[in-house]
């Protein structure tokens, strides 16, 4: 079967299509004929060689949709041919993917497989960030960095379903402001000019209740400056690739009744897979009953993924990208 393989740290020049052996499901596992695979910034972090994200050669892909191809022993809740979405055991950008059955969720009728492929990391991560990590309350003011990206646009679609609140976003490039505004942000600012005073003014000096920050610690000082009393800051990645700095003194957190927490989708997949699967199921329910829509940008095939990764790496991507691998459904 064909798969995308990253051969060494670098860029698109080190991403190649290769023929590899078809995986065989073991106990509690399934294989999936992949229809679509989701693209994520974590793919970029892996290919540029960020510590802990890849070993070489690396086969990327952490969310797929398609149909069940084969069942391993002790799998009883799925059948061959089921339309599913899954968090694979890596290597999702392949014609056939291997996944744990507990991280493989049936796709309801009426939900397309292209949309479904965007749920395990994009929408489900956004739901977990808001509800579990961020303890979102209806009416909260939420600040999201990288607001025009896949997670940022997903958060904008979920906040109204969770009771509504005010959405403020930052983006890395001024030309991406309009994209974030179309996604649903009421105020969007570019980070190349300090947004502190504009956000303070927009909140009447109070600040924001929740900050969702994928930028490592590069914006943490800004986050804490803008946090309202009792505010929560959730760090969920290191898109900049910059070294992670030490956290601020406890006295600063105590003084403002502030909370800093970390979120790792990979950690939840390893240690609490049922929570991830439950979030995926909830998102699929929103899509099935029409309360949620998720426009996606479809990449035509495996060979076109490296160019899409370039867009993400250069900060020129917008919204959610999924690659078509096999037959749509």
CATH superfamily membership of 2-118+294-324: Medium-chain alcohol dehydrogenases, catalytic domain (3.90.180.10)
**Portion of the chain with pLDDT greater than 90, in percent:** 85
Distance CA 9, CA 286 (A): 38
In this prediction, residue 328 carries a pLDDT of: 61
In this prediction, residue 93 carries a pLDDT of: 98
Instruction: Please give the average pLDDT of every successive group of 10 residues along the chain, which has 329 residues.
Output: 96 95 97 97 91 90 97 97 96 97 97 95 94 98 94 93 97 93 96 93 97 96 97 92 89 95 94 97 96 90 96 84 84
The domain ranges of the chain are: 2-118+294-324, 123-265
Q: For residue 108, what is the DSSP state?
A: P
User: In Å, how far from its chain's centre is CA 184?
Assistant: 18
In this prediction, residue 238 carries a pLDDT of: 86
Which two tokens mark 171?
A: 């983006």
Which two tokens mark 254?
A: 């105590």
Distance CA 105, CA 316 (A): 32
**Equal CATH topology for 2-118+294-324 and 123-265:** no
Spatial CA neighbour of 217 closest among 268, 260, 252: 260
Cβ(289)–Cβ(274) below 8 Å: no
Question: CB-side exposure of 45: number of CA atoms within 13 Å?
Answer: 17
In this prediction, residue 329 carries a pLDDT of: 54
Helices (H), the chain: 41-47, 113-116, 124-128, 150-158, 177-183, 196-202, 220-226, 250-256, 265-271, 273-288, 305-313
Which two tokens mark 132?
A: 């579990």
In this prediction, residue 149 carries a pLDDT of: 85
The highest-level CATH class for domain 123-265 is alpha beta
Instruction: List all residues 6 or more positions away from 189 whose beta carbon is below 8 Å from its beta carbon.
Output: 168, 169, 170, 171, 177, 195, 198, 199
Judged by DSSP in three states, 204 sits in coil
């Amino acid at each position: 079967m064909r798969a995308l393989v990253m051969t060494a740290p670098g860029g698109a020049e080190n991403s190649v299509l290769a023929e590899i052996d078809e995986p065989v499901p073991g106990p509690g596992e399934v294989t999936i004929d992949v229809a679509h695979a989701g693209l994520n910034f974590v793919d970029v972090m892996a290919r540029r060689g960020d510590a802990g994200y890849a070993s070489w050669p690396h086969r990327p892909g952490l969310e797929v949709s398609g149909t069940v191809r084969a069942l391993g022993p002790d799998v009883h809740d799925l059948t061959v041919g089921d339309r599913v979405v899954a968090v694979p055991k890596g290597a999702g950008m392949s014609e056939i993917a291997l996944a744990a059955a507990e991280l493989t969720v049936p796709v309801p009728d009426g939900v397309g497989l292209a949309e479904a492929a965007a749920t395990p990391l994009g929408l489900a991560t956004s739901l977990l960030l808001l509800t579990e990590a961020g303890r979102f309350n209806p009416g909260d003011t939420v600040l999201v960095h990288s607001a025009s990206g896949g997670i940022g646009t997903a958060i904008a679609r979920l906040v109204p379903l969770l009771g509504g609140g005010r959405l403020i976003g930052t983006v890395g490039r001024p030309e991406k402001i309009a994209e974030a505004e179309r996604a649903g942000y009421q105020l969007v600012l570019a980070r190349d000019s300090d947004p502190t005073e504009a956000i303070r003014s927009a909140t009447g000096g109070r600040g924001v209740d929740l900050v969702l920050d994928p930028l490592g610690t590069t914006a943490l000082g800004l986050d804490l400056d803008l946090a309202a009393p009792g505010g929560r800051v959730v760090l969920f990645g290191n898109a900049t690739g910059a070294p992670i700095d030490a956290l601020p003194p406890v006295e600063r957190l105590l003084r403002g009744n502030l909370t800093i927490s970390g979120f790792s989708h990979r950690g939840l997949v390893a240690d609490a897979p049922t929570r991830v699967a439950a979030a995926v199921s909830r998102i699929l329910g929103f899509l099935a009953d029409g309360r949620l829509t998720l426009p996606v940008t479809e990449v035509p095939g495996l060979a076109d993924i490296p160019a899409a990764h370039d867009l993400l790496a250069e900060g020129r991507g917008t919204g959610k990208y999924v690659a078509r691998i096999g037959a749509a459904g």
